[in-house]
């Protein structure tokens, strides 16, 4: 049987007004913050490594978009 991971509930964040789509860069920014938080609170090394790899990939894409538009 698989292990169920319990994540802390996210803190309240400013949310886009109803009807407005969240832009991609904001979504990636939120995902980066969440992955950092997950990596800091998970006890399984394999999960931390996967979260770190995902964060690094998203961070590289985010920085490239910010630099090159």
E strands present in the chain: none
What is the crossing angle of helices 24-41 and 45-68, to 10°?
A: 150
Instruction: Indicate the pTM of the whole model.
Output: 0.59
pLDDT of residue 20: 58
Name the one residue in this structure whose structure tokens are 């980066």. Answer: 32
d(CA 42, CA 6): 9
Q: Which pLDDT tens digit goes with each residue over 2-59?
A: 565 566 666 666 665 555 567 888 888 888 888 888 888 888 888 888 888 888 988 8
pLDDT of residue 66: 85
What radius of gyration do the chain's Cα atoms show? Answer: 14
Residues 6+ apart with CB under 8 A from 68: none
């Amino acid at each position: 049987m698989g292990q169920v991971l319990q994540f802390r509930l996210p803190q309240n964040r400013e949310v886009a007004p109803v009807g407005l789509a969240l832009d991609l860069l904001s979504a990636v920014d939120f995902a980066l913050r969440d992955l950092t938080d997950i990596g800091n609170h998970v006890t399984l090394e394999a999960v931390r490594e996967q979260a770190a790899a995902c964060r690094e990939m998203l961070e590289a894409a985010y920085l490239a978009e910010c630099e090159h538009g």
